[in-house]
Structure 1
């Protein structure tokens, strides 16, 4: 039994454990919300909650809701960011959703389930067509998107890297 929850200060230990695991892996933190300063955990939670209401956004950012995927033991398995709308940059690359599963929990189907749950949230926000992008060489992510109804729209290049753009219709 897994579910998405809004960031919550009572999960500080679990969150920091996930961040530590990610750091040890040497991999990039995805989604971007995992890069926030955790020194003052309550302030980080407040910042994330503010972003979902358009408060405290940096230039070029849009309203964004962050959720953590937890299992029945309240272990944080991953995180997902849902952008409520697209600006020109996100329409090209970035899309509505960014997500990641902690390294030790990958290849267990969690990303597919997390995206499925997030798509239901997108409907409640009023998003009827969701754009998700991923690096072309990230086969796992493209499978997650396709398994949730993603249709490849196009490919692009940014900083010498090829990425793919998928659309998911929620109607």
Structure 2
């Protein structure tokens, strides 16, 4: 299973992962706006706690936020290769731009099938949340991500504000 819940014991891996992205997009990481972890052990622990809290449906979130389960994409050796966010519901912004699922794979580990495996597992987890289908978006010029989404059963609906929007069934029999 390529998806793991965030854990406190991966701080050195976190620093290496962030360095690999070199300022690039960290979709699915839980970084948004000014919400970025401080690159210290304490900042890392606070970030992980925030990620885990956002997935807890018993906790009330600030206005405009939706409950979201965050995962780390890992390989067969449990190396941390990326991020994935599974949003339980959509607000207006997520319906237009972000979708139910967002993900990114570190640049040095792309083109190895990690995004495909993680997205397939995320769709199964979306079914466990009661979603019949999930909205997945990517930048209009991100051909690799579009192919990944399509290979996991995503059906292109339209493009809005330079985002390709796909809907994918969450149960394997419907993909």
Per the normalisation by structure 2, the TM-score is: 0.87
Write out per-residue CA displacement over residues 46-79 of structure 1, whole angstroms, 9 at most, x where no aligned residue. Answer: 1111011154744311000100011233210111
Contact 1:47 1:56 in 2 (8 A): no
1:101-120 counterparts in 2 under 5 A? Answer: 101-120=105-124
In the alignment, which residue of structure 2 is the partner of 1:42?
Answer: 45
Cα distance in 1 for partners of 2:99, 2:113 equals 22
User: Is the aligned partner of 1:52 residue 2:55?
Assistant: yes
8 Å contact kept, 2:29–2:84: no
Q: Unaligned 5+ residue runs, structure 2?
A: none
Matched, 1:144 2:148: yes
Q: Secondary structure at the match of 2:98?
A: coil
Of the three residues 125, 130, 135, the one matched with 2:129 is 125
Q: Distance in 2 between matches of 1:11 and 1:20?
A: 14
Superposed counterparts of 1:1-171, under 5 Å = 3-23=2-22, 26-34=23-31, 36-38=36-38, 39=40, 40=42, 41-54=44-57, 55=59, 57-157=61-161, 162-171=162-171
Alignment partners' CA distance in 1, 2:113 and 2:74: 13
Whether contact under 8 Å (1:19, 1:34) holds in the other structure is: no
Higher alpha-carbon deviation: 2-11 or 80-89: 2-11
Number of paired residues? 164
Unaligned 5+ segments in structure 1 are: none
Question: What is the TM-score of this pair, normalised by structure 1?
Answer: 0.88
Runs (4+) of structure 1 exceeding 4 A deviation are none
SS in 2 for 1:118: helix
What is the RMSD computed on CA atoms of the aligned residues?
A: 1.7
